[in-house]
Structure 1
């Protein structure tokens, strides 16, 4: 077998950004040619972006994608390029990879299996192709092979599994490709980021290369393409069960070309980072892309001094730190589309101040500890920091209601309402600041709060984007301790010394989150089984009774509380701000877990708990 130089090309695309998407593809091809790459593989749906949603169902959108392919072909002289796009044939749309060899279109390979779990709804848009079927497709006056194809290049026989195709076990296309004696399988993918997912991919690529006795090359999309899903831009090469090459993930670049040779030797292998680092990298890239693609000028954050808002403040600062490190200050600022001229010797901290404005919105129930925590963190990061109280607004609202209903509101009788009006009163003024700054308002709810509705609608749920709604509070508390040292963020010291509390009741009532709910470590375990694994209340009790050091009666009450609050608060989850998908699962009803707004609330299932 000849030694060939190949490359994977990952691109940060945006639906409907036709010119930008095309330009990034051309630049990647030009880069590959300059490095004498012979075969260049782009990701799945690289021409349009994966997140085009119901645009795929239109007639004009796939036609425009084909027109873009036609424009691309003349630029592919002296190189073979594989690139993904949708193709409509009559009433059906197919997810395909077009293969261009020396400026000539050689064929379309169509995806055979659709991703339908979790965040994926591909059956809504695409029709799976039948194995071994090949038809003629008319393109620019020529009949082009379309379907289940393989190709040859200098004695190398190669084929494709497109993303989900590779995850279908014994029925995956790789077995048929192996029967055809291919030497190389490409897997162009649009695989969303999730913490620790890279280990699953690595294992699959290694097993595939061993199982099919061939080289196996994986190429993924890059960046926060359309708002919620982040693509990590991973490129892998494996052979004989061994990883030979891996790029660095979650780049701030518009594209990456990662070359390698078909030789049974290890080449460049970037390290796999622990979960805490992945969270930083994905969140900071997600925020960067969301900011620039929404054409906003910065972020505004209601900084309480607690865990959630402090996590988000650090993630914005990390976005600046990592963007400058990878792109350089000039390019980073240009990509954001803002004007910035540093005036100090610390442009990183100065730029954080230009992009992040925070405000501590206190009440008579707020403590000096949380104020000092917020102020210290903001100053350490370089963020703008304001402070005001909202007691006047709260008193105005409550006075009007008291006059209307003819009685005083009391904590004994009106606890939830008095808590909510404080959280909700913060929203209009922080939105005003965001509007004045032409900025995105950052919502501070986490996934654990979303589970049980421990969030005030139009209060702490207010925002343009909710960066941490995809991760649980137990992880956030752990991550903050890790970040203080590993990210060199001494401003987190005060945050990490505090017990999480909403500070919405009078201080003498000693409110804490876990006292209101249950230990966050317990919520995580119940959530994992109830939402990720879709287990019943009884199943969860039987599985956890020996794992957790809790009395049976206490565990049953926690399970009941979780399911009752979960059912009661679906309407809130339907209205949460867009959130990044960061973990193996999430609770977003639009992209992962659909649940009825109105239901019986597991009443009978929870009654059965008391019978065991």
Structure 2
């Protein structure tokens, strides 16, 4: 038998949601059998969930994960299935793949290289397995091989790489598997989403299949599994350098299967139905964030979202994300399944009376997204109109009120206590911040009343320099755009106006970004307060992602002629000073999604001391240049 129907599958799992996870796995296996699939590769740690964090330090979690294998194996008649599971062996925890054939467990392959950069901290929980080592393990009353396995089944010789294993260059497991004559490598993965990452993966898998003269199957997790990480659900199958299969990413379904007919003897006879196109960064961004919000809402058992819609770029982006969540979810799942997943059964009768899909979409948005424009005397008519038009365009419930009375009450109490007036000349930051903070309590009331998630609209550029008010515009349950820069957001909104068809975005796209916290005659703008957003992007990539010193950043950017050297130096000095001063703010940002190849969330990618020397000597060196 040289021709096999091989498949990868993606699963939308949740940490320690055993019933959900096992049901998804079994449903996926049953569908694979209906499709006459011979070999099925499921994602990494798919029984327990990848994002269990310090629960992996327990004894009970891996024990419980393994206890579900017999139930899953019972569904594996006439099929070979590889699935990820944590296994504790001799007191140490290993990230394993269990291979099952025709209801029988064949063994457990253990991960050799642990991800320990960016958003990953695997060595905190797992132990790397030593290459070429194989032991025996007693599980559920049986004895099985565990370790660096190669398993022969007829003319198949199966080997494994688990996610990070494949990214280790010349020392990766596949190098040794090639020497041992392995012709099928299965790679169960939990590889986080980042913009444009899919092309890098595709190149890796295609090249791996060529370099190691094998068929290579990659299967990733799907969705917002545990809160911050998004998994794109990518499945790639390649044979001897030829890409056979790449699926559409970021599905709203619980699982997806992608297949290829593989002829082990003659690669030219192998075939698959679909090789999906790689999307642009703008398209990927809305696909990822809308799915992440969908999963966050349903997995947190919330009833919707509340948004302080200012009419500016950030809050407008967040509103579009929710609207697209509804649009895309309905298109892929259908009305009934979409409503069931979000526990919106009560809307069914009302929706059935509507004829057009646009009307149905807007009715759902009306029920799950409530927006409020909270104006002051410093707010402009343009931003109010921008907010009103966008809310109407997407169908959101929209409120508008003024908070001058509340701001005046707080201000007068302090003035009375201090026995002096507060002025814009002496108390600029205080007078700005009290407006932002005053918006928080009332919008939180709406969130509490509706049992909804309060969206906070901070972006990564603001996080860099602390251009945000604690307990004000940063106050909320979820920060969907905190990991993406403002320069990208401004460009994305222009794309969304034309490509996604939100004509109301013309209002915000014609505005200059402004906090609107100073009197209107002061003509406040974000970039005049800070620096051009395109400059922040360039500085942060070198300083934060690449860990360069102030002088290194200056030398690198001065060659790009972004602006004159004195302005560049001023902006770099300002960036590093504000970055150092505002780590405490970044520590308090609401949970956010990892979207780019780096972020400034100290709980995932970027750890920095709250108290430090603030680059004092390094900045003095730069000033002397």
Alpha-carbon separation, structure 2, partners of 1:97 and 1:204? 21
Q: Does 1:429 align with 2:442?
A: yes
Alpha-carbon separation, structure 2, partners of 1:340 and 1:115? 44
Alpha-carbon separation, structure 1, partners of 2:617 and 2:56? 42
Alignment of 1:85-100 (within 5 A): 85-100=85-100
Which residue of 272, 282, 286 maps to 1:276? 282
Alpha-carbon separation, structure 1, partners of 2:229 and 2:148? 29
Q: Can you list the C-alpha shifts for 1:197-255, whole angstroms capped at 9, x where unaligned?
A: 00110110111111101111100000100000000100001122221111110000011
**Matched residue, 1:522:** 535
Q: Does 1:216 align with 2:216?
A: yes
Q: Does 1:383 align with 2:403?
A: no
**Matched residue, 1:21:** 21
Alpha-carbon separation, structure 2, partners of 1:485 and 1:223? 27
Q: Can you list the C-alpha shifts for 1:166-211, whole angstroms capped at 9, x where unaligned?
A: 0001110000000011111111100000010001101101111111
Alpha-carbon separation, structure 2, partners of 1:154 and 1:593? 48
Which residue of 590, 594, 608 maps to 2:603? 590
Alignment of 1:407-426 (within 5 A): 407-426=420-439
State the Cα distance separating 1:72 from its structure 2 match. 1.5
8 Å contact 2:245–2:259 — kept in the other structure? Answer: no
**Matched residue, 2:408:** 395
3-state SS, counterpart of residue 600 of structure 1: coil
Q: Does 1:324 align with 2:330?
A: yes
Alignment size in residue pairs? 612
8 Å contact 1:381–1:491 — kept in the other structure? Answer: no
Q: Does 1:289 align with 2:305?
A: no
Q: Does 1:241 align with 2:258?
A: no
**Matched residue, 2:122:** 122
**Matched residue, 2:354:** 344
Alpha-carbon separation, structure 2, partners of 1:412 and 1:344? 56
8 Å contact 2:245–2:258 — kept in the other structure? Answer: no
State the Cα distance separating 1:350 from its structure 2 match. 1.1
**Matched residue, 2:310:** 304
Alpha-carbon separation, structure 2, partners of 1:174 and 1:452? 44
Which residue of 314, 323, 330 maps to 2:320? 314
Q: Can you list the C-alpha shifts for 1:465-509, whole angstroms capped at 9, x where unaligned?
A: 000001000000000000000001111010101000000000011
3-state SS, counterpart of residue 135 of structure 2: strand
State the Cα distance separating 1:565 from its structure 2 match. 0.3
Alignment of 1:68-217 (within 5 A): 68-217=68-217
- Single out whichever of 37-46 and 69-78 deviates more from structure 2: 69-78
Q: Can you list the C-alpha shifts for 1:245-284, whole angstroms capped at 9, x where unaligned?
A: 1111000001112121114345210111100000010000
Q: Can you list the C-alpha shifts for 1:524-548, whole angstroms capped at 9, x where unaligned?
A: 0000001111111000000000213
State the Cα distance separating 1:71 from its structure 2 match. 2.1
Q: Does 1:548 align with 2:554?
A: no
Q: Which runs of 5+ in 1 are unaligned?
A: none
Alignment of 1:398-477 (within 5 A): 398-477=411-490
3-state SS, counterpart of residue 624 of structure 2: coil
Alpha-carbon separation, structure 1, partners of 2:561 and 2:250? 36
Q: Give the TM-score, by structure 2 length.
A: 0.97
Q: Can you list the C-alpha shifts for 1:285-320, whole angstroms capped at 9, x where unaligned?
A: 000000000000000000000000000000100000
Q: Give the TM-score, by structure 1 length.
A: 0.99
Alpha-carbon separation, structure 1, partners of 2:289 and 2:177? 37
Alpha-carbon separation, structure 2, partners of 1:499 and 1:241? 49
8 Å contact 1:344–1:350 — kept in the other structure? Answer: no
Closer, same or farther: CA 549–99 of 1 in aligned 2, 3 Å: closer
Runs (4+) of structure 1 exceeding 4 A deviation are none
Q: Can you list the C-alpha shifts for 1:75-123, whole angstroms capped at 9, x where unaligned?
A: 2111111100100123210000001111111100000000000000000
Alignment of 1:41-52 (within 5 A): 41-52=41-52
- Single out whichever of 88-97 and 274-283 deviates more from structure 2: 88-97
**Matched residue, 1:563:** 576
Q: Can you list the C-alpha shifts for 1:422-452, whole angstroms capped at 9, x where unaligned?
A: 0000000000001111100000000000000
**Matched residue, 2:341:** 335
Which residue of 583, 604, 607 maps to 2:617? 604
8 Å contact 2:326–2:364 — kept in the other structure? Answer: yes
Which residue of 502, 516, 520 maps to 1:507? 520
3-state SS, counterpart of residue 347 of structure 2: coil
8 Å contact 1:2–1:154 — kept in the other structure? Answer: no
Alpha-carbon separation, structure 2, partners of 1:106 and 1:7? 19
Q: Can you list the C-alpha shifts for 1:136-191, whole angstroms capped at 9, x where unaligned?
A: 00112222000000112331111100000000011100000000111111111000
- Single out whichever of 92-101 and 341-350 deviates more from structure 2: 341-350
Alpha-carbon separation, structure 2, partners of 1:529 and 1:583? 15
3-state SS, counterpart of residue 4 of structure 1: strand
State the Cα distance separating 1:70 from its structure 2 match. 2.4
**Matched residue, 2:506:** 493
8 Å contact 1:243–1:266 — kept in the other structure? Answer: no
When the two chains are superposed, the root-mean-square deviation of aligned CA atoms in Å is: 0.9
Q: Can you list the C-alpha shifts for 1:401-428, whole angstroms capped at 9, x where unaligned?
A: 1111110000000000000000000000
3-state SS, counterpart of residue 75 of structure 1: coil
8 Å contact 1:175–1:212 — kept in the other structure? Answer: yes
3-state SS, counterpart of residue 37 of structure 2: coil
Q: Can you list the C-alpha shifts for 1:571-608, whole angstroms capped at 9, x where unaligned?
A: 00000000000101000001000000000100100000
Q: Which runs of 5+ in 2 are unaligned?
A: none
